[in-house]
Amino acid sequence: MSETPNTPPQNTGGNEAGEQPGLQILTQYVRDLSFENPAAPALTPPDGGNPDIGVDANVNARKLAENDFEVGLKFTIQAKFGDQVAFIAELMYCGVFRLINITENDVRPVLLIEAPRQLFPFARRILADVTRDGGYPPIMLDPIDFLDLYQRGEHGQAEDPSTSQKDGKEDSKAH
């Protein structure tokens, strides 16, 4: 009986080293976290109903080194009972990513789709914890379709992070 070795298919994408493309997370961190609770200790809504909650999400990326990029997710959540603000939570959650054998054409999609997708569950948990610790039910953000945001062009006036511009920043925004 003959055995054939189980080897992964070779990348024919044209990179000289023959290595597969990859995305490596070097580190993740909270850059900024704020929770304002102006309604405390009166946590009960005036009319007994649920607050109106607004969520604003942004993605930005900047080049740190030749293949290393910082990607940041910024969330602002505001809960109101009528005109009265119950709480405001703001989070800037970042990760440093190393792009391995990513073609120049794929850098932007990787930074604005896949990198934020990797960071999102951690940011979601932090926001749920901080709202719960503030005396409210935890905010459980719905998943964000970063591919849809990218395809709709909401990254708009983003600069190309593969160029050596001054700050190499990119942005993508969801409401």
- The pTM score is 0.76
- Decide if 150 contacts 109 (C-beta within 8 A): yes
Instruction: State how far the Cα of 53 lies from the Cα of 88, in Å rounded to an integer.
Output: 10
Domains, the chain: 22-155 (3.10.420.10)
pLDDT in tens, the chain (175 residues): 445 444 444 333 444 556 899 999 999 999 999 999 997 887 666 666 778 999 999 899 999 999 999 999 999 999 998 888 999 999 999 999 999 999 999 999 999 999 999 999 999 999 999 999 998 889 999 999 999 888 887 544 344 444 333 334 455 555 5
Q: Both tokens of residue 27?
A: 């580190």
Complete DSSP assignment for 144-161? --HHHHHHTTTTTT---T
DSSP three-state, residue 79: strand
Instruction: Measure CA 46 to chain center.
Output: 34
- What 3-state DSSP class applies to 12? coil
Tell me how far the alpha carbon of residue 49 is from its chain's centroid: 31
